[in-house]
Amino acid sequence: MTEEERRRGRQARFEGLAHVVAEPLHRYLLRRTSPDLVDDVLSDTMLVLWRRLDDVPGLGTGPAPDPDDVLPWCYGVARACLANAHRADGRRLRLLERLVRTQRGPSATVTDHSDLHAALDRLGQLDREVVRLWAWEGLAPRQIALATGLTSNAVSLRLHRVKRKLAKQLGPTRKSTDPAGHKQMKEGAVGE
């Protein structure tokens, strides 16, 4: 048997299977999900059946299989495809909810960072991108270099210069003049 004959035989077997199972699978899916999802899940099911044609129990070499032999396994495939579609819908809904939450205005507990954003806006486009990749995305200079096309050394120098410039523009932000990590002790507090 040539490759072309095998391909034609496989196609004929699939067409015979599809002819027998398409309508029962469509009804099966209509009873289990929304009408707008049925055609997509049925398409996914038929794709799996095509890919796993040799695994379908009861599917002989003839063009017309017995529905009682092939349908139970095909229902199992449809059930799995439907579960995948429901999981995907759940992920889409969760993503949409997160996007809606982030698009709402800032809540009362969010700190106002308008001075920081104004200072960032005064930077050049590349400097602003370097700072954002470092501060917001948590990238190291070598990773920023890959993202921007600069060298690691150029990123480090640019980042140092921009941080110094931002610190100057924003002024002192510490509420205390104590060195970081140090507390002032009251007189006479030693040994108490």
Who's near 65: CB < 8 A, 6+ residues apart?
16, 17, 20, 56, 58, 59
Classify residue 110 by its DSSP letter: S
Q: Which residues contact 9 (CB under 8 A, 6 or more apart)?
A: 1, 61
CATH of the domain at 144: 1.10.10.10
| Residue 22 falls inside a structural domain | yes
Domain enclosing residue 92, as ranges: 7-103
Per residue of the chain (192 residues), give pLDDT as tens: 799 999 998 999 999 999 999 999 999 999 999 999 999 999 999 999 999 999 998 887 666 788 888 998 999 999 999 999 999 988 988 888 888 888 765 555 556 677 877 888 888 888 888 887 888 778 888 888 887 888 999 999 999 998 888 888 887 654 444 444 444 545 554 544
How far apart are alpha carbons 113 and 76 in whole angstroms? 54
The CA–CA distances, whole Å, from 43 to 81, 125, 176 equal: 9, 47, 65
Within a domain: 34: yes
pTM value is 0.52
Read off the tokens for 66.
């017995």
| Number of domains making up the chain | 2
- At 22, the amino acid letter reads A
